[in-house]
Structure 1
């Protein structure tokens, strides 16, 4: 509301100022040669004082407008960022696995807050320009209707150029989205701590730098070509506007020479026409910017309109508090979106409640897909995944996922305190130091944390000041503690000991058996020393379960598991 008032007042002040200038000039001409007296000074001083008041008002509203624009900028930036964050975590997990989605996300994030603020400001400028233009037109109308018309016509080429260039720039931006994401990727490879070791060891720096500079050179050349086109168009539009202005000024000079108009009229005309010309150009410019920003903001709304496919049913079924019977994959067929080859076809698997189940198999067997389906990141194309006989699609998504805790193979190091790292496993419940330490002890990271300077209050990672880094195995144990802290009914661990040495693995296995007692645990692993301790082992190959049983039963079977066990044990013996 304050912004609208300021726009209207700022739109009227220029016309008032010009009118006062004419009054000053005419009064000066009237009292010229009359000497200095209270009457002559008063005749000039009155409009001058009014002009001073207008200038003070102009300065006041300019500063107030700056304050409001700053406040708007902060609010809009936070609002747009919040919308993008909300949508980013609301869309399906599968969207992140496709280039098209990442293009949409990049376009939405690219200056979204700035474009939104620019759109708002330009709309405000249009309001202010319109108010000023109508005021200037009212001042010029007594001299002829054709003068305001010339103002409009002189700015039309500039407006056309702006619209045309905006459309060309938008198309270029859309076309080069993937290229600009490549630039971000090269920059990540050259500056991120996770890639620093390999970049130095294998001397990748020049290769990635050259790739970055080569792509930048092409994009820079294309940008320069757009700039040339824009400059040429603006020069032509400016020449046209100056020609129209010169014509109007020549006519005004003729009227003064003929004595039809006064010097005050000439001063008013010059000021109003000159400012009017600038205002019309600003108006056209702002309209063009509104058009340009609306094109780019369209990317934001296109992103915000993406609908998640994994959604709650109309009437969700209550989640069972305790898993009584089993998790069952029944005739599940699944293809990743965009792929014609099924990862699983008529897949069947039963995971009994309260047992530790190991799933082993070669790379590409479908083990990770099984986790994604069980976490309901995807829904199967056909068949069902059932929890105690109920299709998991009948549950609320969030409520169902609350039953599950997962240690993913690519675990995330969170750069916070050790205590908060573990408490992130269940942010819905008040953190308990006793439970945090219990989870840390279960994962085997407690002793390492207590040796840190501030124990559980120590900052982890080197990204922020006073941080302490951990080894790969220690980060993995911390992620395990986070998974354990959730106290979920279903535990899924994907290669939970991949970063641990054999001694650490043996120690952790003993802890895990105690922690998992009474809960359903699914362990994805390549290590048979871990799998052998499971109640049931399933061997997965090419999207199917080919063998099932205990460790001893599978060895007696003499199949793929037995062969792999012998190979792994022989490799371990040779290594020793």
Structure 2
């Protein structure tokens, strides 16, 4: 089979040694890639020079440190001070070590000489203990600070995001920014952690270099010659591992997807009936071989890099021993100094490697924190802006005059010059084909979207003049794609008025309204049943059962304006008739009901019907009026009615 042939380029290596992974996979195309907002800066440090990273760090760290100070106040300076002192203790330990070696190596070892050196040896031990204690104090303080930064960053982002205009929160570019910002909220703690570790690395490196410079001017270049190759090798491998991990992760996601398709319950029937198992297994093996080749490539690169860095470091050490030997023979340094040099070089290598790695990690995570800051600022700028007027009473009338609305990045308006009126106690139906603007109009009516031209009036006040939080208090929404909260059945209904203390009588009345009581009666734990099958003990509901829960939720909200957007799409005909009887009851109770639907048979009892086409109202009136008009509504109604009639058998 042609579809079973391996890709001719799969598993091949490129000229640079990397495994070639096609940009367009035979199965997944370019779909499963690390291209989401949260991945856009991954490996950013791998493309820049070390000094460039160092130059850009302060600007990125400033954001995280400001957040850390806000979250932990004195915890940040305490952690930094502890790491500074721990790094400085390195210099004290090296100096004390040099003195101890000088005493011990001054002549033939004797008990008296050991006793004389004991205070200095104790100072070495005390310095080491102090360094460990201070470093541990910094780590412990940062351990307290990090989760506070997490919470502060995430809460700040969520507080702003939840207040963004609906039309913006649904924008793809903004969603991508929010995805990166969510990663940035987690990166803020990492930036602080890396920065605190960087403090100790820099201080320790400076201390070691300073001690060597004091002991002899030539010793500092010796340490650099020995430590730099090892640091270079560590950084090179860190970048290579990250780049390889990114490729490997993309492959792993594809392999996991295929594995789920092979063993999952949902696709099992079609996999067997269509005999797709061989096809899927073939591609699993193809991708697995690519993954194996990538891991083998990384192992080879690591071996070569280690060999090169260790070789250069070995030559540098050989040169260092030669220089030290010459200095010893000439009497320029004592034997004790030579011993101190060896210890200082080992210490300096550790701190230099930590420093370079920390700078790379700081830069990469700092970019995500910058995204977090940009998202917070953007969300603040795009926040819902309402007027100062508090809407305390339900509206008697909602009027729309010459209303225009266009979605961002769209050229064609979704609503064009719409006029309509809704009064308390009325049922107003919005009908039309897909894309005619029905749902958009319903959302503009209740202030979820703001018009670019024209206005929506609530008892003489436009939605721009009214405080929209007070406006939303009078609105209930039942959409076809309403939220299936992963909470208990009780919470799924009472969340319709989450600010009010749960009322058992109101809950029962709302359940009866939406016929959700019949659903709850079948649940093992009744109202306390978790409606989330993905969790242990959770229960799965059908689409129709969920729609009943949604209707109950809207009724429990007890709002003056109720929007029903395709509320019966998942219900059977009998249940649908019962729902529309209840919709009529809501209107008789004094509510204004806006019904958005494709099923024209359900709007016959509406007080007024608006027919939309390409964002414009082309007809309006009662069912009888529109049928007599014999226009678009009558055409659609007749077409739908004919689908439910039995065809006449030929004579």
Could you state the TM-score of these two structures normalised by the residue count of structure 2?
0.75
Does the aligned pair in 2 maintain the 1:310–1:379 contact within 8 Å?
Answer: no
Match of 1:330 among 401, 405, 408: 401
Does the aligned pair in 2 maintain the 1:126–1:287 contact within 8 Å?
Answer: yes
Instruction: Give the 3 Å change call, closer, same or farther, for CA 161–305 of structure 1 in structure 2.
Output: farther
Does the aligned pair in 2 maintain the 1:358–1:522 contact within 8 Å?
Answer: yes
Match of 1:104 among 165, 168, 177: 177
Map 1:382-421 → 2, pairs under 5 A: 382-421=453-492
The residue matched to 2:609 in structure 1 has which SS?
Answer: strand
Distance in 1 of aligned mates of 2:283 and 2:216:
62
Unaligned runs of 5+ residues in structure 1 are none
The residue matched to 2:198 in structure 1 has which SS?
Answer: helix
Worse-matched range after superposition: 378-387 or 77-86 = 77-86
Q: Deviations over 1:208-241 (max 9, x none)?
A: 9999999999999999999999998898777666
The residue matched to 1:74 in structure 2 has which SS?
Answer: helix
Does the aligned pair in 2 maintain the 1:12–1:131 contact within 8 Å?
Answer: yes
Q: Deviations over 1:316-372 (max 9, x none)?
A: 2222512123x2221122222111122222222222333111111111211121123
Partner of 2:101: 25
Match of 1:464 among 525, 535, 557: 535
Could you state the TM-score of these two structures normalised by the residue count of structure 1?
0.84
Q: Deviations over 1:144-169 (max 9, x none)?
A: 33533565687778889999999999
The residue matched to 2:162 in structure 1 has which SS?
Answer: helix
Q: Deviations over 1:145-197 (max 9, x none)?
A: 3533565687778889999999999999999x999999999999999999999
Distance in 2 of aligned mates of 1:378 and 1:227:
55
Is 1:450 the counterpart of 2:524? The answer is no
Does the aligned pair in 2 maintain the 1:252–1:266 contact within 8 Å?
Answer: yes
Partner of 1:552: 624
Distance in 2 of aligned mates of 1:213 and 1:233:
30
Distance in 2 of aligned mates of 1:101 and 1:161:
40
The residue matched to 1:460 in structure 2 has which SS?
Answer: coil
Partner of 2:334: 262
The residue matched to 2:646 in structure 1 has which SS?
Answer: helix
Does the aligned pair in 1 maintain the 2:565–2:596 contact within 8 Å?
Answer: yes
Does the aligned pair in 2 maintain the 1:170–1:292 contact within 8 Å?
Answer: no
Worse-matched range after superposition: 303-312 or 266-275 = 303-312
Distance in 2 of aligned mates of 1:261 and 1:538:
98
Map 1:123-138 → 2, pairs under 5 A: 123-138=195-210
Worse-matched range after superposition: 116-125 or 14-23 = 14-23
Distance in 2 of aligned mates of 1:164 and 1:375:
57
Partner of 2:424: 353
Is 1:495 the counterpart of 2:566? The answer is yes
Is 1:343 the counterpart of 2:414? The answer is yes
Does the aligned pair in 1 maintain the 2:563–2:595 contact within 8 Å?
Answer: yes
Partner of 1:539: 611
Distance in 2 of aligned mates of 1:423 and 1:159:
60
Does the aligned pair in 2 maintain the 1:310–1:377 contact within 8 Å?
Answer: no
Instruction: Give the 3 Å change call, closer, same or farther, for CA 470–286 of structure 1 in structure 2.
Output: closer
Map 1:129-168 → 2, pairs under 5 A: 129-148=201-220, 151=223
Partner of 1:50: 123
Partner of 1:528: 600
Q: Deviations over 1:431-475 (max 9, x none)?
A: 211111111111111133134333222222312222232221111
Does the aligned pair in 2 maintain the 1:170–1:295 contact within 8 Å?
Answer: no
Partner of 1:15: 91
Map 1:64-75 → 2, pairs under 5 A: 64-75=137-148
Partner of 2:72: none
Partner of 1:294: 366
Q: CA deviation at 1:96?
A: 4.6
Q: CA deviation at 1:90?
A: 3.2
Distance in 2 of aligned mates of 1:105 and 1:212:
33
Is 1:278 the counterpart of 2:354? The answer is no
Instruction: Give the 3 Å change call, closer, same or farther, for CA 105–310 of structure 1 in structure 2.
Output: closer
Distance in 2 of aligned mates of 1:108 and 1:301:
8
Partner of 1:369: 440
Partner of 2:65: none
